[in-house]
Amino acid sequence: MTTRAPKDEHDEAGLRVGAPATSAAGVPGVVHGLKDVLEQAGVRRGVKTLRVLNQQRGFDCPGCAWPEPGKPHLAEFCENGAKAVAEESTVRRVDAAFFAEHPIADLGGRSDHWLGQQGRLTEPMLRDAGDTHYRPIGWDAAFDVIADALHGLASPDDAVFYTSGRTSNEAAFLYQLFARTLGTNNLPDCSNMCHESSGAALSETIGIGKGSVSLTDITDHADLIVVVGQNPGTNHPRMLTALEHAKRRGARIVAVNPLPEAGLHTFKNPQTVRGVVGKGTLLSDLYLQIRLGGDLAFFQAVNRLLVDADVVDHAFIDQFTTGYDDAIAAWQTLDWDDVGTATGLRREAIEAFVAEVRNAGSVIVCWAMGLTQHKKAVPTIREIVNFLLLRGNIGRPGAGACPVRGHSNVQGDRTMGIWEKPPAAFLDALETEFGITAPRRPGHDTVDTIRAMRDGRVGVFMAMGGNFAAATPDSEVTAAALRAVPLTVHVSTKLNRSHALAGQRSIILPCLGRTERDVQAGGEQFVTVEDSMSVVHASRGTLRPGSDQLRSEVAIICGLARRVFGDDGAGIPWSSFAADYTTVRERIARVVPGFDDYEARVAVPGGFVLPHPPRDSRSFPTASGKAQFSVNELEVLRVPPGRLILQTVRSHDQFNTTIYGLDDRYRGIRDGRRVVFVNPADLAELGIADGAMVDLVSEWSDGDRRASSFRVVSYPTAPGCAAAYFPETNVLVPLDHTAEVSNTPAAKSVVIRLEPAAS
Ligand SMILES: Nc1nc2c(c(=O)[nH]1)N[C@H]1C(S)=C(S)[C@@H](COP(=O)(O)OP(=O)(O)OC[C@H]3O[C@@H](n4cnc5c(=O)[nH]c(N)nc54)[C@H](O)[C@@H]3O)O[C@H]1N2
Ligand SMILES: Nc1nc2c(c(=O)[nH]1)N[C@H]1C(S)=C(S)[C@@H](COP(=O)(O)OP(=O)(O)OC[C@H]3O[C@@H](n4cnc5c(=O)[nH]c(N)nc54)[C@H](O)[C@@H]3O)O[C@H]1N2
Ligand SMILES: [Mo]
């Protein structure tokens, strides 16, 4: 068992490339997962942890936001959930001795993999201005440093409070309350880089920014499930179990993706006998290998064909929607040559999809980052809503919009008010409940935060989880911006790049993770989370905390608030909140719609479902009171000769910036990450050999961006399209390259050229 952390960096020279897999999960999946947990957590602790993962009395998997079934399978976890748990329950420690041994300059030069592998943070640390190292600081002294810095700001808007989507409902609610009591809406979160485009498009068109389907719509009711811009085999493996259920009762599945992802092809369910010994289930009935960014044109073409054939649901359209005539007029102007160029698909392929739709009584569209991280992400998702509205595929069983969320509580954090543009009604309710004056100026989102840092307008940056330095675009610009901030504060479980690329003064506050017991003055606590389908349920840690100095996120916010607001806490009972989270849930129930009787309803195994008017009653809380058809202008991405469109994706061995390991098993990559996947025809045309070493260069008006030394891998991606892993490629994405409306970095469409590697 290798419980010791690696001392040396991994050498990419050992990188091996094999054939991509044609099926996902199966026995190797769970065996891989178990090996990870057992190595890092030790055998007894590891087994104990996995037994309560996603069970109704246990903790919510800290991996993705896919919902748990009503009756969880005895082992309701996947390989990647097991890896997420292993990362957190590791017995490795990053303690004061570690920081004494490693100056900041050393940490800054390390890979994300090396940093993450060092283990759990154990005590608060401070790097003072000019210091070369972090050194230990007590909790109270750390809170004093932060409180003094906040008091010294000219305006509360000079502070920024970032959140990553693993934060519980209770912590998120208190965190936004803290920021708003201070007087700012500067509450950017990982969602700004993730499903912001989905929220924006859905709010405009159906009146609520959340998906409209539940798990049984997929497993039991849908006739056709379209999976667009998503790689569930790696990122939402338990979704494959749901798709398999759907498939076995006769549902059809269509995958739309530039990459032929293994999980979309065949699934070997590790939790059934068939999956263990058999060939698995062939999932996709139709695979459309679309060009990057081609989905808007694709859905416009589909909608045009449905209207031309007059196979739309007129009764639904008349009763529940508005804007239909304008949409029809726009589809009539569609140019089929543009559709061909944008999608890379032949007309017959689009017609084959339309035939699937015509045969299906009910249709669900699922999507993730393949749609949201493009310049035209919001119009694309609006066009998908058009598609659903045309045949009344919203607000009835087996139909609807299904944005598949990333972080396990990213949706809940937004529900709790982590939002730089909060609705007025939410602020009104906060004011009534707490007697504060909530700020009304919109705050900074993630990209605007970096701009503000760069321009010297941020005095304090605090992050509740996440890895801001590594997850954000334009790595060099962002690193310089972060270094200029007078004080940065990171509440974290594990060491990461953000601790190295920190402000002039920098504090690390180590916190409990999901897996750990949370005991406060009022006894043992649990927290609550909301999954991708609006189900709210409890999560209870079971392991002994990684160090006796760790505090819960709730306790950290409340401790800081008492220092900042003094003993009366601006009239808010922070100490009682920290002692007993029931008292936090009481307040949430009074402020956030849908949480009445919170404590009792979350005590029920499986929790409760939040209201969703379009799903529940076909009522659409938009300005017009109807679902909105939209007109979306098509802009074909034309690439200069010799250039490719690059998308930045996750490997199978990472959770965002946390790099579990160096394999991407399903894509045939072992022992390395610096690869770029390119279609063989493009390689031939560019005169570049499979296996050659290249630099990736993106060209912008303010100068080129370069990511050095990638191995070219000939791969069956869509022609003209390349793929490489983030965060290594974030350096290529300029700050201003964002989606319209949502301001999400357009990380899936970066035009690049390949140059022979300089080094
Ligand atoms: N194990 C693991 N699980 C995770 C995560 C993780 O890193 N590791 N991250 C979590 C988070 S925060 C998120 S947001 C989700 C992310 O889940 P995904 O969105 O599945 O993640 P990506 O790796 O970004 O994959 C994007 C997919 O979209 C496709 N795609 C890219 N561009 C286009 C396009 O223009 N059109 C179409 N049709 N397809 C396109 C890509 O080929 C790829 O299959 O996963 C969550 N779960
Ligand atoms: N180029 C490119 N960039 C991307 C993306 C992409 O597809 N391409 N995807 C984007 C997406 S979808 C997302 S969501 C963002 C992710 O952005 P973030 O959410 O900021 O990043 P993570 O890598 O998920 O954060 C990992 C860190 O969170 C901390 N952590 C883990 N668990 C806990 C906990 O329980 N409490 C606390 N306080 N800390 C904890 C650990 O210290 C760990 O190092 O990245 C975005 N960046
Ligand atoms: Mo995400």
Sequence ranges of the domains in the chain: 148-193+411-592, 196-404, 644-756
**What's the chain's length in residues?**
759
162 C-alpha to ligand 2 centroid (Å): 11
Residue whose Cα lies nearest atom 24 of ligand 1: it is 649
Give dist(CA 345, CA 291) in Å, integer. 8
Q: Which atom of ligand 1 is the closest one to the Cα of 259? A: 42
Q: For residue 85, what pLDDT is reported?
A: 86
Cα dihedral across residues 181, 183, 186, 191: positive or negative: positive
Does residue 747's CB lie within 6 angstroms of at least one atom of ligand 2?
A: yes
DSSP letter, residue 696: E
Using CA atoms, how far apart are residues 403 and 411, in angstroms rounded to an integer? Answer: 11
What is the C-alpha separation between 370 and 379, in angstroms, rounded?
14
Nearest to 161 by CA among 184, 129, 127: 184
Does the beta carbon of 656 lie inside 6 Å of ligand 2?
yes
Domains 148-193+411-592 and 196-404 share a fold: no
395: left (phi over 0), alpha (psi -120 to 50) or beta: left
Q: Is the CB of 166 under 6 A from ligand 2?
A: yes
Q: State the Cα–Cα distance between residues 78 and 61, nearest whole angstrom.
A: 10
Residue 271: per-residue pLDDT: 65
Query: CATH number of 644-756: 1.10.730.10, 3.30.420.40, 2.40.40.20, 2.40.50.140?
Result: 2.40.40.20
Tell me, what's the pLDDT at 178? 98
Strands laid side by side in the 159-163 sheet: 135-136, 125-127, 505-510, 487-492, 460-464, 159-163
Q: What is the pLDDT of residues 290-304, one digit of tens each?
A: 999 999 999 999 999
Measured from the Cα of 468, ligand 2's closest atom is 20
Q: What residue's CA is closest to ligand 1, atom 19?
A: 369
DSSP-assigned letters across all residues of 61-122: -SSB-PPPPSS--TT---HHHHHHHHHHH-S-EE-HHHHHHS-HHHHHTS-HHHHHHT-EE-
> Is the separation of the CB atoms in 630 and 323 below 8 Å?
yes
Provide the pLDDT for residue 27: 45
The predicted-structure confidence for 469-503, as pLDDT tens digits, reads as follows 999 999 999 999 999 999 999 999 999 999 999 99
Question: From the CA of 405, how far away is ligand 3's center (Å)?
Answer: 7
Which ligand lies nearest to the CA atom of residue 557 in the structure?
A: 2
Pocket test of ligand 1: the residue of 80, 238, 369, 408 to mutate, having most ligand atoms within 8 Å of its CB, is: 369
Ligand nearest to C-alpha 404: 1
Query: Can you spell out the DSSP letters for 453-488?
Result: HHTT--SEEEEESS-HHHHSSSHHHHHHHHHTSSEE
CATH fold of the domain at 196-404? Dimethylsulfoxide Reductase; domain 2 (3.40.228)
Q: Among 88, 192, 650, name the best residue to mutate to test ligand 1's pocket (greatest count of ligand atoms within 8 A of Cβ).
A: 650
Alpha helix segments (H runs only) across 102-227: 104-108, 112-117, 139-151, 169-182, 196-206, 215-216
Which tokens hold the place of 567? 């003993």
**Mean pLDDT for back-to-back runs of 10 residues, the chain (759 residues):** 76 92 67 66 70 75 85 67 87 96 96 96 97 98 98 98 98 98 98 98 98 98 98 93 94 97 81 62 90 98 98 98 98 98 98 98 98 98 98 98 97 98 97 98 98 98 98 97 97 97 96 96 98 95 94 98 96 98 98 98 95 98 97 96 98 96 95 98 98 97 96 98 98 98 98 93
Indicate the top mutation candidate among 113, 467, 543, 551 to test ligand 2's pocket, ranked by most ligand atoms within 8 A of CB. 467
Residue nearest to atom 32 of ligand 2 (CA): 493
Enumerate residues with CB within 5 Å of ligand 3 (an ion): 194, 406
Nearest ligand to the C-alpha of residue 64?
1
CA–centroid distance, 64 to ligand 3, in Å, is 9
Q: For position 196, what pLDDT does the model report? A: 98
Class of domain 148-193+411-592: alpha beta
Q: Is 304 in the pocket of ligand 2 (CB under 6 A)?
A: no
Closest CA to 289 of 335, 312, 322, 256: 256
